[in-house]
């Protein structure tokens, strides 16, 4: 029978005690967290900046263009009848004026036609303030050196009033007068549509100034 003997165990035979590794792990964990924080911080700032950009107006963007106000686009416009005189006309001028009024356009540029208080067979009005067309009036006396303007083959003479320019034909059998409010700017641009109708409906005639014939 074998004899079991106890062998003394010396300190040298004990395994070396391993130092706890928690401090090392803690340092590693804190380092990783710090790196993650440093990475996440600029990303968060970037996301916040993008969100602010989406929610806030761009101060560098130019403002949208505001449409310019015109005489026909500002405020409410009256459609009530325009007060106009209607003097009695001889048979021939009355016939010519009826032809003219029947062919006038429904608008002059962007001014819609309005009713008149008298003489719809010889008067017309457009817009507010009213641009008016009167047929059968008196042709003004004009010298050869006075300024005249030809618009679409119709010769016009202009006189200035405090609130309007009054243009009257000089080369037609029956005179036609157009009164253009000053707020509408250059008066001659407004008589172009009327000139086209005059050429089609009012015969030429009379002793026009030399400026109309050049």
Rounded distance between C-alpha atoms, residue 24 and residue 174, angstroms: 113
The CA-atom distances, in angstroms, between 72 and each of 61, 112, 189 are: 30, 10, 15
- Tokens 């006396």 label which residue? 141
77-122 pLDDT, tens digit each? 888 999 999 999 999 999 999 999 999 999 999 999 999 999 999 9
Question: Is the Cα dihedral 27, 29, 35, 38 positive or negative?
Answer: negative
Q: Rounded to whole angstroms, what are the CA distances from 99 to 148, 170, 177?
A: 25, 19, 15
Across the range 43-52, mean pLDDT stands at 43
Whole-model pTM: value is 0.65
């Amino acid at each position: 029978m074998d004899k079991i003997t106890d062998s003394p165990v010396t300190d040298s035979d004990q395994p070396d005690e391993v130092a706890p590794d928690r401090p090392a792990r803690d340092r590693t964990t804190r380092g990783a967290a710090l790196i993650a924080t440093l990475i996440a911080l600029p990303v968060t700032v970037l996301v916040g900046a993008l969100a602010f950009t989406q929610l806030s107006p761009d101060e560098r963007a130019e403002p949208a263009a505001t449409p310019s106000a015109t005489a026909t686009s500002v405020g409410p416009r009256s459609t009530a009848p325009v007060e106009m005189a209607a003097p009695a006309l001889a048979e021939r001028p009355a016939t010519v004026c009826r032809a003219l009024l029947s062919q006038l356009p429904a608008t002059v540029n962007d001014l819609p036609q309005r009713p008149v208080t008298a003489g719809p067979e010889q008067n017309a009005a457009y817009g507010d303030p009213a641009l008016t067309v009167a047929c059968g009036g008196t042709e003004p006396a004009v010298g050869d050196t006075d300024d005249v303007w030809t618009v679409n083959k119709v010769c016009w003479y202009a006189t200035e009033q405090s609130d309007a320019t009054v243009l009257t034909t000089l080369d037609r059998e029956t005179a036609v007068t157009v009164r253009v409010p000053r707020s509408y700017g250059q008066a001659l641009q407004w008589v172009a549509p009327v000139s086209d109708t005059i050429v089609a409906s009012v015969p030429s005639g009379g002793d026009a100034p030399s400026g109309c014939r050049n």
